[in-house]
Amino acid sequence: MKKNILILGGTLEARRLATALNDQYADRLTTLTSLAGVTRNPEPVAGDVRSGGFGGADGLAQFLKSEAIDLLIDATHPFAAQISQNAAQACESAHVARLYLARPNWTLPDRSDCVFVPDMSEAALLTARTARRAFLTIGRKELGAFSDIPDVHFVVRMIEAPAQPLNLASYDLILGRPPFDLDAEVDLMRDYEIDTLVTKASGGDATFAKIEAAATVDARTILIRRPAPPDGDVVWGVDNAVGWVSDWIGEPA
Ligand code: NAP
């Protein structure tokens, strides 16, 4: 019988993992990728896909049982701490195996001016003190931290246009989905005369180009520290996750 794998997604890594597992092990497993449902036009994903919250850890535990899930792979964004905590609780109560796919940390360029801060409000305070033209690549949820900064022009990159204008004194909005390319990132930062990049220290290769680009144009990078991965089995990168699943699933019967 095939094993049922639930991938908690919303990331490029989750999509790459679903593709690799379906390409290599379709005879032995099925994948169901779960999206939060916040992006209106998500990229296509190999295997089955569902969308929307589960209703907390208890709802997820119910879902694991009703869908006869054998393994949950948490491939969510490193800053999506709530769903990862829910996944850990749900798998424990439903007795389902769980693997966390962590993104490898970035190796910062030698010549870069990078400052780590603990959270978004510290990032906003430092931006207000030192930036004139700041590139915000922090998603949508925490933009409010920057709303009371009067003398900084913001360039905000999002995946999709927001329904309402942003609550920022002065800004340009640009749309884009990872992966991003170094030359294009350098051009963007030069065109907008960016002196400060504000980003989550998410790791992984899909968005690293902006870190190199900021170093190239001598912009400061303000990095919000990432939360530690949850307890339990952790693999770093998609290839290692595929290897882990290969060991877990064993040889064909
Ligand atoms: P979060 O704060 O950890 O989760 C909030 C709630 O959203 C969860 O309690 C859950 O609702 C629902 N949820 C989150 N991810 C889900 C998934 N993959 N499938 C089904 N429900 C999910 O998450 P977030 O930071 O808002 O991120 C939402 C999604 O966007 C995640 O899937 C993440 O991978 C992706 N993403 C996040 C970021 C980021 O910077 N945070 C960046 C890029 C992509 P219930 O409690 O009702 O189950």
- What is the position in ligand 1's atom list of the atom closest to the CA of 141? 26
Q: Which residue segments constitute the domains of the chain, with CATH numbers given? A: 3-103+237-249 (3.40.50.720), 113-224 (3.40.50)
Residue 203 tokens read as: 């790791």
Confirm or reject: Cβ of 202 under 6 Å from ligand 1.
no
Ligand 1 centre distance from Cα of residue 12 (Å) = 14
Contacts (Cβ under 8 Å, ≥6 apart) of 133: 152, 153, 154, 155, 192, 193, 194, 195, 196
- The reported pLDDT for the residue numbered 148 is 87
Ligand 1 centre distance from Cα of residue 190 (Å) = 33
Query: How many whole angstroms separate alpha carbon 235 and alpha carbon 114?
Result: 26
Confirm or reject: Cβ of 53 under 6 Å from ligand 1.
yes
Query: How many whole angstroms separate alpha carbon 240 and alpha carbon 237?
Result: 6
pTM attached to this predicted model: 0.95
Q: Is the pLDDT confidence value at 253 over 70?
A: no
Confirm or reject: Cβ of 86 under 6 Å from ligand 1.
yes
Q: Is the pLDDT confidence value at 131 over 80?
A: yes
Q: In the predicted model, what is the mean pLDDT of residues 83-107?
A: 97
Decide if 77 contacts 140 (C-beta within 8 A).
no
Confirm or reject: Cβ of 147 under 6 Å from ligand 1.
no
Residue 168 tokens read as: 């920022």
Confirm or reject: Cβ of 81 under 6 Å from ligand 1.
yes
Decide if 174 contacts 156 (C-beta within 8 A).
yes
Query: How many whole angstroms separate alpha carbon 48 and alpha carbon 18?
Result: 9
Confirm or reject: Cβ of 199 under 6 Å from ligand 1.
no
- Residues above pLDDT 90, as percent of the chain: 95
Ligand 1 centre distance from Cα of residue 79 (Å) = 9
Pocket test for ligand 1, best of 76, 136, 137, 226 (most atoms within 8 A of CB): 76
Q: Given the structure tokens 């700041």, which residue do they identify?
A: 134
Q: In the predicted model, what is the mean pLDDT of residues 164-176?
A: 96
Confirm or reject: Cβ of 230 under 6 Å from ligand 1.
no
Q: In the predicted model, what is the mean pLDDT of residues 178-194?
A: 97
- The reported pLDDT for the residue numbered 111 is 83
pLDDT in tens, 18-28: 999 999 999 99
Nearest CA to ligand 1 atom 27: 80
Buried/exposed 108-138: b ≥16 CB within 10 Å, e otherwise: bbeebebeebeebebbbebbeeebebbbbbb
Q: In the predicted model, what is the mean pLDDT of residues 204-222?
A: 96
- The reported pLDDT for the residue numbered 238 is 97
Cα pseudo-dihedral 2, 25, 72, 119, rounded to 10: -170
Q: In the predicted model, what is the mean pLDDT of residues 221-233?
A: 95
